[in-house]
Every structure is written in structure tokens, then in C-alpha cells.
Amino acid sequence: MKRMNLSISVRQTAIGTLLLLGISGAAAAQSLGDYARAIRKNKPEPSATTRHFDNDNLPTDQTLSVVGPTPAANASSTTPAPDPAAAAGERQKTADAWKDKLAKQQDKINALNHELDLDQREYRLRAASYYADAGSRLRDAADADKQDADYKNDVEAKQKAIEAAQQELTDLQEQARKDGVKQKDNDDSNDNSKDKQ
């Protein structure tokens, strides 16, 4: 019997402790809510320079900027706002100037390529006529060797000039890109130059 009484008293103690904790928790929650309301009532007004948004003062009829505060209008600065039309006109002038430079350079490359092509055609014709006549091969062998060496030197010089002109065109295109001229504009000028060829 003693054993039963002991278990009943343990149960009663546990139930009492739980009830006590539940009542104190409810009382603490009630006092915490009262405390939050009191703090909200005694809350100092926000300063004019910064605005703090929470659920109580969030605007419902306007948008909220999360970028930052709006800059104060400075009465001492009298710099006029840039005119978009003037800026666009200036960009167009710059783009046109670069297009002209690039077109001239491309024309120079095309002219060099054309000269090289003509020299190669003349050489092929001269070589064909030279090798077609066995007598001229025997009589003019030294002169043919000299002309062949001159031709090879001339072709090599023209190829180097073409490479230098193409490198200059690449540099001009890079400078144009740095100045804000679109690559499409550069490509259009190159395509137009190639079409003229």
C-alpha cells in the first residue's frame, strides 16, 4: 500500500508542477505583450533625415524605394543637365569619324591586295610564256632568274605591307571600340569596303 501512495503522490507533484509552469508561462506571455505595447507607445519619433519602415507605417498608396535616400537638391550647383540630343549627335559624329578612318584603312588594304593579285597574275603569264618556249629558256636563263628573284622580293614586301595595314586596321578597330563605337558599325564599314572590291 505504501507503494501505491508513493506513486500517487509523485503523480500529484508532477501534475502540480506542470500546472504551475503553465500558469506562470501564460502570465509571462501576457506581461510580455503588455511590455511590447508600452514600448510602442513610448517610442521616440524618427528623425527627419532617416525613415524607418515597419508594418505600422508602411505606405500602401505609393512605391517604396529600397535604393536609398533621395539626394537633397543642391542650390549651389548650377551645372546644366546634359542634353541627350547633343550627346547623341556627338556620339554620331565620333562614330562617323571612326567609320571614315576604318573605311580608308580598309580601302588601303584592298588596294594592296589588288596590286599583289595583279603582280601574281603577271608573273604566272610571264612564267607560262617562258616555259612554253624552250629557246628562250636557254637564251634568257640568267635574266629569268633575276626577274624571278625580284618578283619574290616584291611579293614579300607587299605581303608585309598588307600585314602591317591589317594590324593597323585591327588597332583602329580597338581604339574605336574604346571610344564607344559599336563593333557592328566597324563590321558594316568593312563589309562596304569589301563590296566595292
For residue range 84-132, list pLDDT tens digits in order: 777 778 888 888 888 898 999 999 999 999 999 999 998 888 888 888 8
Cα–Cα distance for residue pair 120/142, rounded to 1 Å: 21
31, part of any domain: yes
Both 35 and 111 in one domain: the answer is no
Domain count, the chain: 2
Q: Give the pLDDT confidence of 37-46 residue by residue, as tens digits.
A: 888 888 766 5
CA distances from 53 to 40, 41, 59, 63, 64 (A): 14, 16, 8, 12, 9
Domain encompassing residue 114: 91-196
pTM of the model: 0.47
75, part of any domain: no
